[in-house]
A and B are shown apart, each in its own frame.
Chain A
């Protein structure tokens, strides 16, 4: 059966590895930002996110023949990224959170838009920081689902495929994440 893909790099040109590699370069170019963004939001450390992004594409390249085209390449890459976060970050949780606490203030702030008044900018920074802090209180799964939905704009079906859960389970995690974030923002009802 011929695999169907959105990128055109999977399962094609088996006789010509050079062309396949060329396609892989294009794939990296196309998805690198998304993968890096998700990983950065997950691990809150830009250097670690860069490393994991490289690992993600390396793993994708190694396992490219196992991709059957039953989901989009974006979902497939996100699944690899989710597994990387789960495997690597959990194993070094202590260092990771300690470092995350140190860097997050300087990283997420400083809006470059000069049209915003200093007061508004301060208010925006406060809100962003509050969500950033709130995501820390989420479980790993809740955080992953929340980030995939609200930062990466994946729909519930894509998130389910990425994290290997049913759609209803994804919904449950998402609702819980939103409840906790809302509570952390100081608007419980």
Chain B
């Protein structure tokens, strides 16, 4: 039979609920005393580790919600607002420019309700030798007169 503390007695000592006899034994037995001290140190390290972890977290969290953080968050929001405004300022004129001619043509089409004007447009269209979209290209192709002057295609 061992003369040292039983597991239950050891646990009682570690929990701080030791009886007088157990305390007496611990004070007299270097082995039990050392083991109890080592166990206490280990628990203390564990406690410290958990506390440090949480305290760090809480401090970090507290820093995150400082007025400076709010200011920075505000600046960030303003920055995004400025970027959005710049994008809108760049794109809105472009879209307005794109839509404008179509709108004018549409309005023109609607405006020409006079039968003579409509007939003129139809005649103009029928007198075309090439489709209307090709007319700008035709101006770039040399005519028969200019071809004769330059000697035609070489």
Contact = CB atoms under 8 A, between A and B. Distances in A.
A150 interface: yes
A149 B13 CA distance: 14
Interface string A161-189: 00000000001001110110111010111
Contact of A149 (B5, B15, B51): B15
Contacts of A178: 10-11, 14-15
A182 B4 CA distance: 15
Interface stretch (B37-45, B84-92, B100-108): B37-45
A141 interface: no
Given A127-B45, A178-B11, A171 B53 contact: no
Describe A's contact surface by its main secondary structure.
helix
A32 B65 CA distance: 15
A187 B32 CA distance: 11
Contacts of B19: none
A182 B49 contact: no
Interface in B1-44: 2, 4-8, 10-12, 14-15, 17, 35, 38-39, 41-43
Interface string B35-72: 10011011101110111111101100000000000000
B50 A37 contact: yes
Given A36-B58, A40-B53, A108-B53, A185 B39 contact: yes
Contacts of A40: 50, 53-54, 57
Interface residues of B, number: 30
A33 interface: yes
A151 B50 CA distance: 8
B11 A33 contact: no
Interface residues of A, number: 35
Contacts of B4: 189
A41 B41 CA distance: 18
Contacts of B35: 187
A189 B57 contact: no
Contacts of A175: 8, 11-12, 15, 17
24 contacts: A33-B55, A33-B58, A40-B57, A41-B50, A108-B50, A111-B49, A124-B45, A127-B45, A130-B42, A131-B42, A131-B43, A131-B45, A131-B46, A132-B46, A150-B46, A151-B50, A175-B11, A178-B10, A178-B15, A179-B7, A182-B7, A182-B10, A185-B42, A189-B4
The 4 closest A-B pairs by CB, nearest first: A131-B46, A178-B11, A37-B54, A175-B11
Interface of A: 32-33, 36-37, 40-41, 46, 107-109, 111-112, 124, 127-128, 130-132, 149-151, 156, 171, 174-176, 178-179, 181-183, 185, 187-189
